[in-house]
């Protein structure tokens, strides 16, 4: 499972988000790869789940990946809850073979 985080520049907020998600995956014993992208070049990339600040909602519209939007990327409760929801969705889609 591939999870991507997005930020304007791919090095600041997306990295904090990446660190937080890696922690969440570890605690929940979920195996997934997390990478951080910048908002300008992500369109040529591929991921199962994209986690990003709410502000990126528009640029992510129509994207085939499961999109998880976060208000405060350092709020672990919010990030954990929403990321786990996104992972659950992905696993359900995968089971049904609906994965695009």
Partner 1 sequence: MKAESTKAKNKSVITLDLIELENTSTTWQEAVISSCMLLVKNHYVEQKYIQAVLKSVDELGPYIVIYPGFALPHANMEDSIWHTGVSFTRLLKPIYFPKRKDDPVNSLIAFCSDDSRSHIKILQKLAMIFRNEDLIDVLQKSRDKEVILNLITGNLEMEKT
**Residues near partner 1 (CB under 8 A):** 7-13, 15-16, 19-20, 38-39, 52-56, 72-76
Query: Which residue, 36 or 65, is less far from partner 1 as judged by CB?
Result: 36
Long-range contacts of 53-58 (CB under 8 A, 24+ apart): 53/6, 53/7, 53/13, 53/17, 56/6
Contact predicate 59/39, CB 8 Å:
yes
From the CB of 29, what's the least distance to partner 1, in Å? 20
Q: Among residues 19 and 35, whose Cβ is nearest to partner 1?
A: 19
Looking at the Cβ atoms of 41 and 96, the one nearer to partner 1 is 41
Q: List, in order, residues 6 or more apart from 16 with CB less than 8 Å away.
A: 73, 74
| Minimal distance, residue 90 CB to partner 1, in Å | 23
CB of 35 to partner 1, least distance (A): 14
* Helix ranges, 4-75 (H): 13-27, 57-60
């Amino acid at each position: 499972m591939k999870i991507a985080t997005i930020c304007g520049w791919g090095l600041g907020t997306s990295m904090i988000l990446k660190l937080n998600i890696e922690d969440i995956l570890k605690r929940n014993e979920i195996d997934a790869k997390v990478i951080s992208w910048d908002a300008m070049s992500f369109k040529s990339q591929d991921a199962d789940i994209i986690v990003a600040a709410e502000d990126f909602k528009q640029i992510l519209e129509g994207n085939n990946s499961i999109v998880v939007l976060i208000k405060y990327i350092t709020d672990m409760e919010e990030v954990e809850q929403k990321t786990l929801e996104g992972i659950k969705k992905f696993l359900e889609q995968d089971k049904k073979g609906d994965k695009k």
